[in-house]
Amino acid sequence: MKKFTSVLLLGIFTLSLALSSCGNSNDNNTEPTISPVVEEDNNDDDDNSSSSDTYVVSEPLPEPDTASNERIEMLIQDHSNGFVAEIPYFAYDGKHSEIDAVNKVIKDSLVRMYDKYAEINNGIHTVEIRSYTQTSERYLQFITTSCILPSYLPSGAIDSFCYDILNKKIISVEEKVAENGFTAEDIQQKTNELFTPDDPTDKIIQIVVNGFLIKETPDSGEILTFILETDMAKEDEYLGKFYYGLIPDTNTLFKINEADLNASFKN
């Protein structure tokens, strides 16, 4: 009898909790919901059986990327007061989280550099940020070079940005290196093998793969050039930063200058 009374009271208490919960529900609540998932217990012995609830948080699903009309536009273009600032970005209609992330990198680096020296504007230090763009039916690409002037040694930075229109994605340097069966160490080794110094005592002390350029050919092929940032030295003397292009398919290594970039980015 005591067992029956306990079960009856437990049932009434459970029913009252359920009614109370229903009375406090709010149809307009957009907060994540917590749903109990009851794990079934197939044990036929009621006295020894037990059950536990596993709670799963149902978060709203992220909105899918819906980018269209992807294109390259200029964010800043300034050729005044000794400044050269040509800063592009990827524009599009709709939504694309990867493009947003790349555009944020551009704003946090190149735009911040420009803003800093444009604000100082002391007539001594300026920035030179140049861009080279190339578009096709498949890819949107641009390379930027940046440095602070005056500079008494070759310096600055070079970066590349590539968007695959067909697959709706940004292609990173790391992805392109791995896709072609290379590692960073492979590229460093090949660069050292192909390097011919202007002076026999010149040597490369550091190589970083900073970008790439995909050149499409009329027969629908692609020529891939890796863009390398190198630090050079002569015995104990630091010579500065120099930039090279490496074409793995032809085992070609060449020093990059403005004329090369202008030629490479002609559509």
**Could you tell me if residue 229 is inside a domain?**
yes
* Percent of residues in the chain assigned helix, strand, coil, to nearest 5: 30, 40, 30
Question: Residue 37 corresponds to which tokens in the numbers above?
Answer: 């998932």
**Could you tell me if residue 58 is inside a domain?**
yes
List the beta bridge partners of residue 159.
Answer: 144
Instruction: Indicate whether 86 pLDDT > 90.
Output: yes
CATH of the domain at 120: 3.30.565.40
CB-neighbour burial class of residue 8 (10 A; exposed 0-12, middle 13-18, buried 19+): exposed
Residues 62 and 163 in one domain: yes
pLDDT score at 63 = 75
Residues 112 and 177 in one domain: no
Residues 237 and 184 in one domain: yes
**Could you tell me if residue 233 is inside a domain?**
yes
pLDDT tens string 148-191: 888 877 888 899 999 999 999 999 999 999 999 999 899 999 99
| Most confident stretch, 22-36, 89-103, 124-138 | 89-103
**Could you tell me if residue 32 is inside a domain?**
no
**Could you tell me if residue 245 is inside a domain?**
yes
Residues 137 and 194 in one domain: no
pLDDT score at 264 = 62
What amino acid is encoded at 201 in this protein?
Answer: T
Instruction: Indicate whether 235 pLDDT > 80.
Output: yes
Which of 136, 153, 171 marks a domain boundary? 171
Separation of alpha carbons 46 and 70, rounded Å: 64
**Could you tell me if residue 3 is inside a domain?**
no
Separation of alpha carbons 241 and 249, rounded Å: 25
Answer with the residue of higher pLDDT: 63 or 75. Answer: 75
Q: Is the overall model pTM greater than 0.85, yes or no? A: no
Residues 153 and 246 in one domain: no
pLDDT score at 43 = 52
As for how many domains the chain has, the answer is: 2
**Could you tell me if residue 37 is inside a domain?**
no
Q: Starting at the edge strand that comes first in sequence, how are the strands of the sheet with 68-78 ordered?
A: 68-78, 84-93, 126-135, 139-149, 157-164, 169-170
Instruction: Indicate whether 58 pLDDT > 70.
Output: no
Banded model confidence at residue 49, pLDDT cuts 50, 70, 90: very low
Please provide the distance, in angstroms rounded to a whole number, between the alpha carbons at the two ends of the chain: 91
What amino acid is encoded at 233 in this protein?
Answer: A
Separation of alpha carbons 174 and 184, rounded Å: 9
- In the chain, what is the greatest distance between 2 CA atoms, to the nearest angstrom? 103
3-state secondary structure of 191: helix
Banded model confidence at residue 14, pLDDT cuts 50, 70, 90: very low
**Could you tell me if residue 30 is inside a domain?**
no
Residues 186 and 249 in one domain: yes
Host domain of residue 215: 173-267
Residues 179 and 266 in one domain: yes
Residues 230 and 266 in one domain: yes
pLDDT score at 123 = 76
pLDDT tens string 241-254: 999 999 999 999 99
